[in-house]
A and B are shown apart, each in its own frame.
Chain A
């Protein structure tokens, strides 16, 4: 099928390993995503807060030297780098990750459904699971790069500055950053994909994702206030995630939702999203 010959011939060359093909989708998605200047600018902005936290870590560990420069001899740093410090970091980064998801997520599947592209994917040696994993990888990689990757880098810097003793005593913080980030990333990625699969209009899907967080939060508080109960917080995803993070980061704050209920709620949300994706992602839609 050479261009100059304009005749058809088959392909007999090598093939890529089947397990690696899901990674083709994020590669193409990033090429398109980063063609948008707004998207690129926002992604770069997401690294400003890790830089701020890096500065705070440096200040916390070098406070004595800095104070001496200003003539103070016995000053104590007002900043303590501990679980509470990293829970604040994770709160800021997960908010940015959420905004990024509401930009990127809604268009991932809805455009394929609107343009009836699914039969093209699924007529190839490429399963529905690989399709979902490929589309999800777009978010997983993007969100990882602004949450746990810089988070663990900050942890490493703090360990280097504070010494081996601090690292051994606080190794659990590294696990908390990693696990807390992944829980957030997985749940919002699944939510974004499920909404993208069911709401063909990208803007509506984005609005719905925002609504699920903010409207549900208001609704949960209204239920708590009106009925004098606490289970209304279960539909407030912010409270649910905070509860999980508080338990992971061993924070002294008391959560609105018990960690057990929060874990169950997150498992339910994830299972519902997987079910919604399973129902919707088919090569051919059967009209009953």
Chain B
């Protein structure tokens, strides 16, 4: 798969301090999450990818374009939704998105059409002639999203898109992000300190701490792999039930309290387990997939000592 982002020893200095240090990794998923506590360097990384901060060492590439030499090409391919409130004063939402689409290179007519479409898409269709300054915080977030997608970018960078949103507005934002991901027309980078947002939308996750990569996780792969680890709580199970499961090719272990842990082998489905249970007159009271949640992964990553060698290679 072609890489979306390549970080090649990227370092960024701000105000005489090193904020990002020797970041190295290759990300190619459709939705990439940037996680980290406040001050970890997530927004600085985004700003460096957009060319707002010059690398002090190393470089980064987006779709193969180097941030040092091809920033204009990168900006043609990206849409950016900044973290903070950002709008043009005294301008209606449709004019605002229209202007931004034109600045991205769309002819005036096409930009106007796309502005209307983008505002309808994010759910601001009925309020599109209102001035952005009069919008609520949630509406402004949606307007920022509309201006970021109006020109049809190949990569959409979302910096804390759910900041300050109430639960329904957050759900709407997450749904939009998923829809855009599933459209297959763009890649997304979601920068957030909210684990749930990232877990619900992202396939790859990069966890930063003190300006270094402390963990890289391919959530999609882990989800697929972890799907095979199953824990069951049963009534009436004995050795024959476990033996029958093992005959399917699954590794199986009986643990106290009538619980059975097993690893599903290729081609074995959950219904096969229920079939065996029916044949052996065993009740399956509970069946859980066992996997590390993103929270577990994040907390483990936060325990990592960033001064250790290897903490920055993105694959630990």
A141 on the interface (CB 8 Å rule)? no
CB within 8 Å for A2 and B80 given contacts A117-B87, A123-B50: no
Is there a chain A Cβ closer than 8 Å to B287's Cβ?
Answer: no
Contact check: which of B86, B95, B110, B133 meets A11 at CB < 8 Å? B110
Could you say which residues of chain A place their CB within 8 Å of the CB of B117?
A: 1-3
Question: Contacting B52 at CB < 8 Å: which of A8, A18, A119, A125?
Answer: A119
Provide the A104-139 mask, 1 if CB < 8 A to any CB of B, else 0: 000000011011110111111111000000000000
- By the criterion CB–CB under 8 Å, are A21 and B105 in contact? yes
Q: In the complex, A18→B103 CA distance in Å?
A: 9
Decide: A283 and B121 in contact? CB cutoff 8 A.
no
Q: List, in ascending order, chain B residues with CB within 8 A of A116's CB.
A: 82, 84-86
* CB of B59 closer than 8 Å to a CB of A: no
| Interface residues as binary, A266-288 with B (CB distance below 8 Å gives 1, 0 otherwise) | 00000000000000001110111
Contact mask for chain B residues 115-138; partner A; CB cutoff 8 A; 1 contact, 0 none = 011101100010000000100000
Cβ contact within 8 Å between A8 and B149: yes
Task: Indicate which residue in A10, A28, A122, A125 contacts B186 across the interface (CB closer than 8 Å).
Answer: A10
Contact A7 B88 (CB under 8 A): no
Any A CB within 8 A of the CB of B100: yes
A88 contacts B by Cβ under 8 Å: no
Q: Is the pair B118, A1 in contact by a Cβ cutoff of 8 Å?
A: yes
Instruction: Establish whether residues A288 and B186, one from each chain, have CB atoms under 8 Å apart when the complex forms.
Output: no
Are B105 and A120 closer than 8 Å at their CB atoms?
no
Q: How far is the CB of A148 from chain B (nearest CB, A)?
A: 29
CB-based contact B147/A120 at 8 Å = yes
The answer to whether A126 and B152 touch across the interface, beta carbons within 8 angstroms, is no
Q: Does the CB pair A16–B114 fall under 8 Å?
A: no
Q: Are B80 and A123 in contact (CB under 8 A)?
A: yes
**Chain B residue total in the interface (Cβ 8 A):** 51
Residues of A within 8 A of B53 (CB): 284
Collect the chain B residues with CB atoms within 8 Å of residue A8's CB. 121, 149, 179-180, 183, 185-186
User: Once the chains are docked, how many angstroms separate the CA of A18 from the CA of B73?
Assistant: 12
Judging by beta carbons under 8 Å apart, are A124 and B185 in contact? Answer: no
Q: Are A15 and B106 in contact (CB under 8 A)?
A: yes
Q: Which residues of B contact A1 (CB under 8 A)?
A: 114, 117-118, 121, 149, 152
Which residue on B lies nearest to A9, using beta carbons?
B185
Q: Given the complex of chains A and B, what is the CA–CA distance between A125 and B50 in angstroms?
A: 10
Within 8 Å CB of B100, what residues of A?
A: 120, 124
**Known contacts A1-B117, A28-B95, A28-B99: does B85 contact A115 (CB below 8 Å)?**
yes
**A13 with B125, Cβ < 8 A, contacts A1-B114, A120-B100, A286-B14 known:** no
**Which of A13, A28, A121, A127 meets B106, CB within 8 Å?**
A13
Query: How close is A284's CB to chain B, nearest CB, in angstroms?
Result: 5
The 5 closest A-B pairs by CB, nearest first: A11-B152, A10-B152, A15-B105, A123-B80, A288-B15
Interface residues of B (CB under 8 A from A): 14-16, 47, 50, 52-53, 72, 75-76, 78-80, 82, 84-91, 95, 99-100, 102-107, 110, 114, 116-118, 120-121, 125, 133, 147, 149, 151-154, 179-180, 183, 185-186
Instruction: List residues of chain A with CB under 8 Å of any chain B CB.
Output: 1-3, 6-16, 18, 21, 24, 28, 32, 111-112, 114-117, 119-127, 282-284, 286-288
